[in-house]
């Protein structure tokens, strides 16, 4: 079971890979679209990579609710439970 | 009097080099990047040789850009950025509504399509990247380039197999002449060095099978030619109305004097041995450019090194130019470059423009014994051109019977 910080770090690596944003800028309060240059297509890539990395399922309907890094970390944390 | 159109920017990434300067140097010095493809995926193919790009476009673009683009789109982007920078338009504050893009490809995003299909079969639909469609749509390269430079007048994609690049130049010329745009970024790009297209071109008997001697495989107009050598890359020109270029004090390489187009109406891939279709396109380009045959000093030939195609082109040239053909210096750059398919027209038009600009024609390499049926003065060493106003044409012909000819003039 990954901790909140481990999930944030893992997610930061994924966002860095997809959008090229430095990992240290990928903090819980950042918006994917407004702050991190992750558009709707790139968000699909982030979600699929996160599912694989954390062994969770993130349904398509849920993706629109994941506006910030914190939203995504919290969702992954709950799904692991 | 129609609007005069000039060339103010050049960009290319080819088997000879990652930019225009290194490509031009490679052409002048008669280099080639032809090599045996050692990956085992090519092992059983009848033709296992090609001329890969000298510089991997994925190394030039940022990692994030590269992963969203098919390799042919990467080539388009690299060449377009060089041409755009070269033109000086990045700092000229031209409204996007006055900038057009016309950029084509012969095959498009085929390699991405095959790769994604492998992913679909092995990992399932969830792992199909959402960038798949922009990678495989034929207009993808033009669209990415248009986005990158902020073009809003129009962004279009001519598809005419190996003549796609020259179709793009013709299209850009028309867009500026008609007043639709002041600037047209025109180009072609191709990335097809992959076992599937290699097997398919091989099945057509179109490729050279000189697997034991790749550097001498592409030999346009030579008696011992046996097919073309596949290359890859991208090439882009910035066209601009002469008035617009003059107003901003731009450096001008040459004038795009005119264009001609025709269709063979003969066979889906075989050239018309009488050269009627290619002659028709050459005549139209001369008329469109208000040039008499004797005013043309140089022809950059399409000549791909196939037995039928090279002679059909020579027959067409002799029919159009008559006795004046003997005063024309012909060169066939595919000996050095290989065949860049959809990028060939613009890459070789750049060579034609630079021949006028620097007043030297690059040599045709591997031409040891001129085919008796050619009957033209084909340069095998760099050939100096005289001073004064000069004109040249670039020929590009494509599977499907497309013939596209562009005429250039010194300024």
Tokens of A64: 């629109």
**Looking at residue B14, what DSSP letter applies?**
B
Counting one residue from A and one from B, how many pairs have CB atoms under 8 Å apart?
Answer: 17
CA-nearest of B305, B173, B189, B292 to B241 is: B173
Determine whether the interchain pair B130/A45 forms a contact, defined as Cβ–Cβ distance below 8 Å: yes
Residues of chain A whose C-beta is under 8 A from some C-beta in B?
18-20, 40-42, 44-45, 48, 51
Contact B249, B71 (CB under 8 A): no
How far does A19 lie from chain B, in Å, by closest CA?
6
Tokens of B383: 């050939």
How far does B184 lie from chain A, in Å, by closest CA?
29
- Tens of pLDDT along B254-313? 999 999 999 999 999 999 999 999 999 999 999 999 999 999 999 999 999 999 999 999
* Cα A63-A67-A71 angle, rounded to 5 deg: 85
Domains of chain B, by residue range, sit at 5-247, 259-409
Would strands B49-51 and B230-231 be described as parallel, antiparallel, or unpaired? parallel
pTM of the entire structure? 0.96
| φ, ψ at B13 (rounded to 5°) | -135, 120
Homologous superfamily of B5-247 in CATH?
A: Thiolase/Chalcone synthase (3.40.47.10)
**Could you check whether B5-247 and B259-409 share the same CATH topology?**
yes
The complex's ipTM works out to: 0.86
On chain A, the residues whose CB falls within 8 A of the CB of B129 are 45
Contact A46, A36 (CB under 8 A): no
Determine whether the interchain pair A20/B64 forms a contact, defined as Cβ–Cβ distance below 8 Å: yes
Helices H, strands E: what count in chain A? 5, 0
* Cα B7-B164-B252 angle, rounded to 5 deg: 5
Interface test with B, best of A39, A45, A59 (most B CBs within 10 A): A45
Determine whether the interchain pair A41/B131 forms a contact, defined as Cβ–Cβ distance below 8 Å: yes
Sheet of B154-156, strand order:
B154-156, B99-104, B183-190, B233-241, B5-13, B254-263, B402-409, B391-398, B296-300, B329-331
Contact B342, B404 (CB under 8 A): no
**Residue B16 pLDDT class (50, 70, 90 cuts):** very high
For B63, which residue in chain A has the nearest alpha carbon?
Answer: A20
The mean pLDDT value for A67-80 works out to 95
For B130, which residue in chain A has the nearest alpha carbon?
Answer: A41
The mean pLDDT value for A17-42 works out to 93
Q: Looking at the partner chain, which of A19, A41, A51 has a beta carbon nearest the beta carbon of B130?
A: A41
Determine whether the interchain pair A48/B127 forms a contact, defined as Cβ–Cβ distance below 8 Å: yes
Average pLDDT, chain B: 97
Classify residue B227 as left (phi > 0), alpha (psi -120 to 50) or beta.
Answer: left
pLDDT of residue B215: 98
The mean pLDDT value for B221-248 works out to 98
SS3 (DSSP) at B292: coil
Contact B178, B169 (CB under 8 A): no
Determine whether the interchain pair B126/A20 forms a contact, defined as Cβ–Cβ distance below 8 Å: no
- Tens of pLDDT along B353-409? 999 999 999 999 999 999 999 999 999 999 999 999 999 999 999 999 999 999 999
**Residue B1 pLDDT class (50, 70, 90 cuts):** low
Determine whether the interchain pair B127/A19 forms a contact, defined as Cβ–Cβ distance below 8 Å: no
Active site residues of B: 162, 302, 339
| CATH number of the B259-409 domain | 3.40.47.10
């Amino acid at each position: 079971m990954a901790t909140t910080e481990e999930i944030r770090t893992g997610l930061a690596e994924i966002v860095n890979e997809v959008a090229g944003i430095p990992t240290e800028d990928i903090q819980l309060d950042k918006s994917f679209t407004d702050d991190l240059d992750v558009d709707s297509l790139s968000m699909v890539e982030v979600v699929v990579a996160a599912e694989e990395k954390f062994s969770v399922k993130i349904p398509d309907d849920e993706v629109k609710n994941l506006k910030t890094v914190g939203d995504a970390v919290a969702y992954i944390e709950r799904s692991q439970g | 009097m129609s609007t005069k159109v000039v060339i103010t920017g050049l960009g290319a990434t080819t088997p000879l080099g990652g930019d225009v300067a290194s490509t031009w140097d490679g052409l002048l010095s008669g280099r080639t990047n032809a090599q045996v493809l050692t990956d085992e995926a090519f092992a059983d193919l009848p033709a296992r040789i090609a001329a890969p790009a000298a510089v991997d476009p994925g190394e030039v673009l940022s990692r994030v850009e590269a992963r969203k683009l098919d390799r042919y789109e990467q080539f388009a982007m690299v060449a377009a950025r060089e041409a755009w920078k070269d033109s000086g338009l990045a700092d000229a504050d031209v409204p996007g509504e006055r900038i057009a893009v016309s950029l084509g490809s012969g095959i498009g995003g085929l390699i991405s399509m095959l790769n994604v299909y492998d992913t679909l079969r092995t990992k399932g639909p969830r792992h199909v990247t959402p960038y798949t469609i922009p990678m495989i749509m034929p207009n993808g390269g033009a669209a990415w380039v248009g986005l990158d430079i902020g073009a809003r007048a129009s962004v279009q994609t001519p598809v005419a197999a190996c003549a796609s690049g020259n179709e793009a130049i013709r299209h850009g010329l028309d867009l500026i002449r008609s007043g639709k745009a002041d600037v047209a970024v025109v180009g072609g790009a191709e990335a097809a060095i992959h076992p599937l297209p290699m097997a398919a071109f091989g099945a057509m008997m179109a490729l050279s099978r000189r697997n034991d001697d790749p550097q001498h495989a592409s030999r346009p107009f030579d008696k011992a030619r046996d097919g073309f050598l596949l290359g890859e890359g991208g090439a882009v020109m910035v066209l601009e109305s002469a008035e617009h270029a003059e107003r901003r004090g731009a450096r001008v390489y040459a004038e795009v004097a005119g264009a001609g187009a025709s269709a063979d109406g003969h066979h889906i891939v075989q050239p018309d041995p009488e050269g009627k279709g290619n002659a028709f396109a050459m005549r139209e380009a001369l008329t469109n450019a208000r040039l008499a045959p004797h005013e043309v000093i140089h022809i950059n030939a399409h000549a791909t090194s196939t037995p039928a195609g090279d002679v059909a082109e020579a027959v067409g040239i002799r029919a159009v130019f008559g006795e004046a053909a003997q005063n024309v210096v012909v060169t066939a750059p595919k000996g050095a470059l290989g065949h860049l398919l959809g990028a060939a027209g613009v890459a070789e038009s750049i060579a034609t423009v630079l021949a006028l600009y620097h007043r030297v024609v690059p040599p045709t390499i591997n031409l040891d014994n001129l085919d008796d049926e050619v009957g033209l003065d084909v340069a095998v060493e760099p050939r100096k051109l005289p001073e004064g106003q000069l004109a040249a044409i670039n020929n590009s012909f494509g599977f499907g019977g497309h013939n596209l000819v562009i005429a250039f003039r010194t300024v």
